[in-house]
Amino acid sequence: MRFLFLYILIFSIAVISCKSKNNLPPDFIHANWTPLDSSSSYLLYNSDEPPLTSTDSISILFEGKQYNDSITNSSLDSLLCTTMAGFKFGKFKGDEAFISAQIKIIKSRMHRHSFAYIRWFPDTNTVNKNSDLIMNIYLKKGNDSLADIKLASGISKESFVSSYEYTSNVSALKKFGDQNPDIHFKEFITENPLPASIDIAVKPEFANSKSLDSIKQMLLTNPRVFDISYPDPEVVNFKFINTLLHKIRFIIKVSS
């Protein structure tokens, strides 16, 4: 549900027209930003006054969303920034515990009556790690395990497969036991009830309802396959989201 929520938010900010921001420094877009961490960088405009102390207050404001060379602002932008990056906005006294690590670093480098901009962007490498849709192929009991492995290897060569994992029924039962140590299920069963399975990661270009249904029907023609399941592609297909995330930057202003 969390990813569905983010999908709706990102889609919304992509299509809603927002008011442009015009009160940024003239060098803002093409300035030399200093890296802060793996997902953010900053611009610092320090005054000639003394550095901030731990008791000085700072204000944190959502300045807008940078998309390509334009800066826009809406309540949806602010909500998405808070949801994804965890920034809190307002005026804060001293080193309040919930101020993010990025803000604390900026504050340690700021002078009084100064300001800084943080440009935060999603770590798309992390987002992409689990973006493939997984299709679970369950095999009939009594199949020969070597034949199942051969079937898995054959399926892995299909054009719609990016990776695969074969799990025997013995391995499936052991995994269930490891994940549920408090359930003493072996006392109540006389044979292994779990099937062998093949989990395939479906390439993004095939992760749509029409293609998945065609793949499912094709795989079900194999007599060794008895069932196939996969999640709703509209929820787990993040190709559209990832394309937007590569271009979106959230701008946060810190003032002392």
Instruction: Residue 15: give the domain boundaries.
Output: 2-126+241-255
In this prediction, residue 239 has a pLDDT band, given cuts at 50, 70 and 90, of low
- Identify the pLDDT of residue 4: 45
Q: Does the pLDDT value for residue 228 go beyond 90?
A: yes
Q: Does the pLDDT value for residue 36 go beyond 90?
A: no
Question: How much of the chain is helix, strand and coil, in % rounded to 5?
Answer: 35, 25, 35
Same domain for 111 and 142?
no
- Identify the pLDDT of residue 198: 94
In this prediction, residue 246 has a pLDDT band, given cuts at 50, 70 and 90, of low
Query: How many domains is the chain partitioned into structurally?
Result: 2
Distance CA 167, CA 161 (A): 17
Cβ partners under 8 Å of residue 14, min gap 6: 244
- Identify the pLDDT of residue 124: 52
Same domain for 116 and 47?
yes
Q: Does the pLDDT value for residue 7 go beyond 70?
A: no
Tens of pLDDT, residue by residue over 134-190, are 899 999 887 678 889 999 999 999 999 999 999 998 888 888 777 767 666 666 777
For residue 85, the domain's CATH number is: 3.10.50
Distance CA 119, CA 99 (A): 16
Same domain for 34 and 83?
yes
- Identify the pLDDT of residue 137: 94
Q: Does the pLDDT value for residue 2 go beyond 50?
A: no
Same domain for 245 and 222?
no
For residue 215, the domain's CATH number is: 3.30.70.3040
Rounded to the nearest 5°, which phi and psi values hold at 236?
Answer: -105, -5
Tens of pLDDT, residue by residue over 74-102, are 777 777 777 777 777 888 876 665 567 78
Tens of pLDDT, residue by residue over 192-221, are 788 899 999 998 888 888 999 999 999 999
**Stretch 100-109: mean pLDDT:** 84
Same domain for 140 and 86?
no
Q: Are the beta carbons of 168 and 148 closer than 8 angstroms?
A: yes
Same domain for 82 and 180?
no
Distance CA 57, CA 96 (A): 10
Q: Are the beta carbons of 249 and 66 closer than 8 angstroms?
A: yes
Q: What predicted TM-score, i.e. pTM, was given to this entire model? A: 0.50
